[in-house]
Amino acid sequence: MARVLLNIPRTARKGEVIAIRTLIQHVMETGYRPGADGEVLPRDIIRRFTASFEGEEVFAADLSPAIAANPFLSFTMVASTTGTLVLRWQGDKGFDQTETREIMVTG
Amino acid sequence: MMAPRRLLLAAPALLLLPRGSRASPEAMAEAVRGFTGGAEIRPGRVTLEISPLVENGNTVPLSVSVESPMTEAEHVRAIAVFNERNPQPHVITVHLNPRAGRAMLATHIRLATSQTLLAVAQFSDGSFWSDRAQVVVTLAACVEG
């Protein structure tokens, strides 16, 4: 499991636009760099990120090797109801990681 | 007699060029066409923010925001970022809907050299808007070991 840093408010007012910030530990090997033996290292990147709230997609991203190592992604969502935010990263070499966070909406 | 031999001697050097072709303004235009389907792109409504002078191309903060009310009737469907001189022209494509509340994205990217970046936003009415930014990079990423 790769380490993940998430900055997501635990509570929000109804209708408020909240910022979601995510960072995941990953080399994002571009597939263009030579390794210590001079051979080009095979590509190993996270290709897709999705964020869904209560089963509905809020934000999705398709990443290229031009995204820096330890991909950082920030976006926003409307706090509509109390529920679960599911974040999922998928990539090369079968990389697949999911994190969930509860967001409580008041008012 | 000498000229062909010189060419032959030069051939192995050509093989040492980076694998695959590097992105070029033409390759970027091609990638942009793949995103827009050939539709007209107008400048405006999109703000691409990136530092104009970058010391380290390995991780460069970049953000894109688009003016849109993000309602069912009028919202941004997708934002894509392209570059001219990395090994590949595509950087990132994000897919949005009204649940996002605001049309914005922030990430960290790699830049192989000084170049122009282009952000294109696709609106729900099918129109495309864009913004460009020029970046000077002093330490490159991507190609070096």
Question: For B118-127, what is each residue's pLDDT tens digit?
Answer: 999 999 999 9
Instruction: Calculate the alpha carbon distances from B51 to B35, B63, B64, B82 in Å.
Output: 25, 10, 13, 16
Per-residue pLDDT tens over the stretch B48-100? 999 999 999 999 999 999 999 999 999 999 999 999 999 999 999 999 999 99
Q: Is the dihedral of CA B79, B87, A51, A74 positive or negative?
A: negative
Nearest CA in chain B to A76: B100
Ordered by start, the domain boundaries in chain B are 21-139
* Per-domain boundaries in chain A: 4-31+41-106
How large is the average pLDDT for residues A19-32? 96
Which is it for strands B53-56 and A83-91: parallel, antiparallel or unpaired? unpaired
ipTM of the complex: 0.93
Determine the longest span between alpha carbons in chain A, in angstroms: 60
CB-closest option in A17, A35, A64 to B102: A17
**Of the candidates A21, A59, A1, A10, the residue with the CA atom closest to the CA atom of residue B108:** A21
Instruction: Name the residue among A92, A68, A97 with its Cα closest to residue B81.
Output: A68
Query: Cβ contact (<8 Å) for A66 and B142?
Result: yes
Nearest to A30 among B63, B100, B142 (CB): B142
Query: Chain B: residue nearest A52 by CA?
Result: B99
User: In terms of CATH, what superfamily is A4-31+41-106?
Assistant: Immunoglobulins (2.60.40.10)
- Residue contact B100–A78, C-beta within 8 A: yes
Residue B10 has pLDDT above 70, yes or no: no
Q: Which CATH superfamily is domain B21-139 in?
A: SoxY domain (2.60.40.2470)
**Looking at CA atoms only, how far is residue A57 from chain B in angstroms?**
8
